[in-house]
Structure 1
């Protein structure tokens, strides 16, 4: 009888460890999907050239178009609505928040170093660019892990020529 009990206990321990491993792998996949979405959003935003300034020979990013492009790419890549809440087919359960959207334009002196101590982020831009930080929570599947939240950071520069 005690061997049967030992087998049941060992199977439950083995199952718990297996679920922990699966949960960790899903968390890493979610983090990578978030990072790819941030990278795509910053690159899309950084390519929104101000054509009027370009006509004068100045490389500038159009702020309104840049913010709209970043939001659109985040929505499309993470399956979010306009308010950052997940849509029906999304793997996320909680809303994604844009905590920093910083546009560095031609009025700065380059190379420009952006520092944000609150999110422990530093990046140096050689030309006009965009800095984006989002807050994203991991949607636990088996609830083996503690809740995880990330501040995912990204930056991109305007590609000239």
Structure 2
């Protein structure tokens, strides 16, 4: 009887440790997918050049087109709608928030050093580019982990 009770107790502990491991792995996967999505969105936004400025020989990013391209790529990669709410098939369960979208354009002198104390983020751009910060929340399945929030940062430059 003692051995049966001990086996039952160890089984419960093993299942709890296993669910904690699964929760941690899902959190890391969500973080990595979020980072890739932010990087892709920033890159897509940074490639939206202003055709009028380009015809004058200036490399400038079209802010509106950049914001639209960045949002579109973020929505497609994270499977969220225009408001940041997850769609069917998304790994997220809560709203993704775009905290910062900054276009660093030809008005600045390069290399341009961007620093944001609020998000503890620094980046140096060698040419015009885009900086994005998105907040994601971990969709923990088993509730073994405390809720986790990430402010995922990304930056990209114009490629030419």
**TMscore range, shorter length:** over 0.9
Q: Aligned ranges for residues 3-152 of structure 1 at < 5 Å? A: 3-152=3-152
Note the C-alpha offset of 1:15.
0.8
Please give the root-mean-square deviation of Cα atoms over the aligned residues, in Å: 0.7
CA distance in structure 1 between the aligned counterparts of 2:159 and 2:73, rounded to whole angstroms: 18
CA distance in structure 2 between the aligned counterparts of 1:26 and 1:82, rounded to whole angstroms: 25
CA distance in structure 2 between the aligned counterparts of 1:14 and 1:117, rounded to whole angstroms: 43
Instruction: Structure 2 unaligned segments of length 5 or more: list them.
Output: none
**Alpha-carbon displacement from aligned partner over 1:120-146 (angstroms, at most 9, x marks no partner):** 110000000000000000111111111
Instruction: Structure 1 unaligned segments of length 5 or more: list them.
Output: none
CA distance in structure 1 between the aligned counterparts of 2:73 and 2:32, rounded to whole angstroms: 15
TM-score scaled by length of structure 2: 0.98
SS in 2 for 1:109: coil
Note the C-alpha offset of 1:5.
1.3
CA distance in structure 2 between the aligned counterparts of 1:19 and 1:86, rounded to whole angstroms: 24
SS in 2 for 1:132: strand
User: In the comparison of the two structures, how many residue pairs are matched?
Assistant: 160
CA distance in structure 1 between the aligned counterparts of 2:91 and 2:125, rounded to whole angstroms: 33
TM-score scaled by length of structure 1: 0.97
Please list every run of at least 4 consecutive aligned residues from structure 1 whose deviation after the TM superposition is greater than 3 angstroms. none
CA distance in structure 1 between the aligned counterparts of 2:28 and 2:91, rounded to whole angstroms: 13
